[in-house]
């Protein structure tokens, strides 16, 4: 016979199990109707002090608090860089049109997108100087959370997202991102196909979902869900609204296998979300797995006919185009090479995961630079040919591009430091969400210093500098 005490324990155990089963991550909301001109997309019109004629995009890499601090330092420098554009004096930060970010860089990007200049007063104490890693561990070890974590539909990433909401994002959704602030592209990686996943309405259209009602904190959590340490973040893939039709460049690209494999693969990955019955859920991890620089989303916007940069280039809206890549990549080669014994399993696993990412990131930056160089060469060639033609009377003029642009790509990278000991110090900083204050201060300072020392950035800043009084 079971004693009443045992009955009570059994009942309590059943109740707790039931409660555990109830815990579920917040679901993304379905899209009521397809509205291609609504939702969180790049704005059709420039607003406030920002013009589209001076087009500035920033890419913030992954790398935990190290990356977030370096990006913050660059933001401070942009704010301090005074310019005159179209007769209006402002800071270069006022002209930032888009920020694409990954992992640690996503905290800085999302915070600026939501709160603007509050970044410069609150972000250091609210995030950079906190031991976020310790706080996340304490949450996971709190017995009150064990029950929820026992649920198959609630995991460590959901606890992390709750924490980011509490300390940083205050429950704000993408719909709360104020108009006039730069377009923020927070990037994660789809575990199923290894493709990048942007938290924008253009991407959510494929999921039949409304990003404007999705919490920014969860997007940042997905973007920074480092494998093993954090679990994947899941989204529901809903059937598309009845009036939805995929963008034309997606459907056209299906025939581009031989002509343009990049476009073909991009279209295939996007279109794969449209088979909802086969893929009712999407599981996301750290954006760094697909692109640890955050530049791929900008590259797509530059290349694709539906891309917000390509359209503006072809429409002649852009005159100067500046991309600043903030790359917090480290390279702790020395420690590895000093040891006689081969590295352990954990080090090998980490290196295996990150070496290919670093090589891929390098190639992404070089590809973007090559695209910009090719554009400059085309403009130079057209101009030179026209000058030759002008010497032959009666010849019709050559067709022109909508506008000749001045393109620039700047990379902020610790490797650019001339002093070997300083370079080694920054290249050896760990990837963590808890760094000592002196490291954070040094990272902020070096972000400003590296941007200031870059010859391309200097040339851009000089060309825009207000006249001396």
Partner 1 sequence: MEYLLVHFPRSRRVLVDDEFNGRTDELIELEAGTHTVALGPPYNFTPTFRTVRLFDTSALTPREIDFDLAE
Residues in the chain: 469
Give CA–CA dist 61/288, Å, rounded: 8
List 6, 7, 24, 400, residue binding partner 1 (CB under 8 A): 400
Q: Which stretch binds partner 1 (CB under 8 A): 140-148, 196-204, 379-387, 451-459?
A: 379-387
401 binds partner 1 (CB under 8 A): yes
Q: What's the DSSP call for residue 394?
A: T
Nearest alpha carbon to residue 212 among 229, 194, 200, 226:
200
271 binds partner 1 (CB under 8 A): no
Region of 170-178, 179-187, 244-252, 415-423 interacting with partner 1 (CB under 8 A): 244-252
Residue 310 within binding range of partner 1, rule CB under 8 A = yes
384 sits near partner 1 (criterion: CB under 8 A):
no
The correct pick among 34, 120, 244, 264 for binding partner 1 (CB under 8 A) is 264
Q: How far apart are CA 32 and CA 13, in angstroms?
A: 41
Region from 97-105, 180-188, 304-312, 347-355 binding partner 1, contact rule CB under 8 A: 304-312
Contact window for partner 1 (CB under 8 A) among 81-89, 197-205, 270-278, 392-400: 392-400
Is residue 306 close enough to count as binding partner 1 by CB under 8 A?
yes
Q: Which of 148, 263, 296, 369 contacts partner 1 by CB under 8 A?
A: 263
| Residue list 333-352, contact with partner 1 (CB under 8 A) | none
296 binds partner 1 (CB under 8 A): no
Buried b (16+ CB within 10 A) or exposed e, 166-191: eebbeebbbeebeeebbbbbbbbbbb
Please state, in angstroms and rounded to a whole number, the distance separating the CA atoms of residues 299 and 282.
Answer: 23
Rounded to a whole number of angstroms, the minimum distance from the CB of residue 381 to partner 1 is 7
Q: Does residue number 385 form part of the binding site for partner 1 (CB under 8 A)?
A: yes
The DSSP bridge partners found for residue 186 are 101
Q: Which is nearer to partner 1, 114 or 313 (CB)?
A: 313
Q: Does the footprint of partner 1 cover residue 388 (CB under 8 A)?
A: no
**Among 54-62, 128-136, 308-316, 326-334, the segment contacting partner 1 (CB under 8 A):** 308-316
The CA–CA distances, whole Å, from 377 to 54, 124, 405, 461 equal 20, 43, 11, 23
Find the binder of partner 1 among 176, 256, 439, 445 (CB under 8 A).
Answer: 256
* Nearer Cβ to partner 1 (333/386): 386
Classify residue 336 by its DSSP letter: H
Question: C-beta of 246: minimal distance to partner 1 in Å?
Answer: 10
- The C-alpha atoms of residue 189 and residue 288 are separated, in whole angstroms, by 7
Q: Which residues between 354 and 373 bind partner 1 (CB under 8 A)?
A: 371
CA distance 381 to 378: 5
Could you give the CA distance from residue 273 to residue 282 in angstroms, rounded to a whole number?
Answer: 8
Window 57 to 116, contacts with partner 1 (CB under 8 A): none
The DSSP line for 15-40 is HHHHHHHH--PPPPPBPSS--TTSSS
Total site size for partner 1, rule CB under 8 A = 33
Binding to partner 1 by residue 383, rule CB under 8 A? Answer: no
Q: How many whole angstroms separate alpha carbon 91 and alpha carbon 94?
A: 5
Residue 96 Cβ, how far from partner 1 at the closest point, in Å? 23
Helix axis angle, 437-453 relative to 64-80, nearest 10°?
50
Binding residues for partner 1 restricted to 12-41, rule: CB under 8 A: none
Region of residue 51 (phi > 0: left; psi between -120 and 50: alpha; otherwise: beta): beta
Name the burial class of residue 462, with classes exposed (0-12), middle (13-18) and buried (19+) by CB atoms within 10 angstroms of its CB: exposed
Q: How far apart are CA 47 and CA 316, in angstroms?
A: 18
Q: Of these, 38, 252, 333, 356, which contacts partner 1 (CB under 8 A)?
A: 252
User: What residues line the site for partner 1 (CB under 8 A)?
Assistant: 247-249, 252-253, 255-256, 259-260, 263-264, 303-306, 310-311, 313-316, 371, 374-375, 378, 381-382, 385, 398-402
């Amino acid at each position: 016979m079971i004693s009443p005490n045992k009955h009570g324990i059994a009942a309590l155990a059943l109740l707790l199990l039931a409660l555990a089963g109830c815990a579920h991550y917040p679901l993304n909301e379905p899209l009521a109707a397809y509205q291609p001109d609504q939702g969180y997309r790049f704005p059709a019109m420039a607003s406030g002090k920002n013009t589209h004629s001076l087009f500035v995009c920033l890419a913030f890499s992954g790398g935990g608090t190290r990356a977030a601090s370096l990006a913050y330092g660059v933001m401070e420098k942009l704010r301090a860089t005074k310019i005159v554009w179209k007769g209006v004096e402002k800071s270069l930060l006022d002209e930032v049109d888009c920020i694409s970010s990954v992992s640690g860089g996503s905290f800085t990007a999302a915070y600026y997108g939501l709160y603007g200049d509050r970044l410069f007063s609150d972000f250091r104490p609210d995030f950079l100087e906190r031991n976020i890693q310790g706080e996340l561990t304490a949450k996971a070890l709190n017995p009150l959370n064990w029950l929820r974590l026992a649920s198959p539909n609630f995991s460590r990433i959901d606890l992390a997202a709750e924490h980011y909401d509490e300390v940083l994002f205050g429950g704000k959704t993408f719909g709360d991102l104020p108009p006039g602030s730069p377009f923020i592209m927070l990037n994660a990686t789809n575990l199923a196909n290894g493709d990048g996943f942007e938290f924008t309405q253009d991407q959510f259209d494929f999921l039949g979902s409304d990003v404007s009602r999705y919490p920014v904190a969860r997007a940042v959590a997905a973007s920074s869900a480092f494998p093993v340490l954090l679990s994947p973040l899941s989204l529901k893939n809903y059937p598309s609204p009845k009036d939805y039709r995929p963008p034309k460049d997606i459907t056209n690209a299906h025939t581009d296998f031989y002509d343009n494999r990049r476009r073909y693969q991009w279209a295939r990955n996007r279109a794969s979300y449209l088979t909802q019955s086969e893929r009712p859920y999407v599981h996301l991890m750290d954006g760094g797995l697909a692109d640890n620089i955050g530049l791929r989303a900008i590259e797509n916007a530059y290349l694709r006919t539906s891309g917000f940069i390509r359209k503006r280039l072809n429409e002649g809206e852009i005159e100067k185009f500046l991309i600043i890549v903030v790359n917090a990549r480290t390279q702790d080669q020395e420690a590895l090479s000093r040891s006689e014994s081969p590295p352990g399993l954990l080090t090998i696993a980490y290196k295996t995961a990150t070496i290919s990412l670093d090589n891929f990131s390098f190639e992404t930056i070089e590809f973007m630079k090559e695209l910009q160089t090719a554009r400059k060469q085309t403009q130079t060639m057209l101009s030179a040919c026209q000058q030759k033609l002008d010497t032959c009377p009666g010849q019709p003029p050559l067709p022109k591009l909508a506008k000749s642009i001045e393109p620039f790509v700047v990379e902020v990278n610790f490797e650019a430091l001339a002093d070997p000991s300083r370079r080694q110090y920054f290249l050896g900083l760990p990837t963590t969400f808890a760094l000592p204050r002196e490291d954070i201060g040094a990272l902020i300072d070096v972000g400003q210093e590296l941007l200031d020392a870059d010859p391309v950035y200097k040339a851009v800043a000089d060309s825009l500098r207000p006249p001396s009084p």
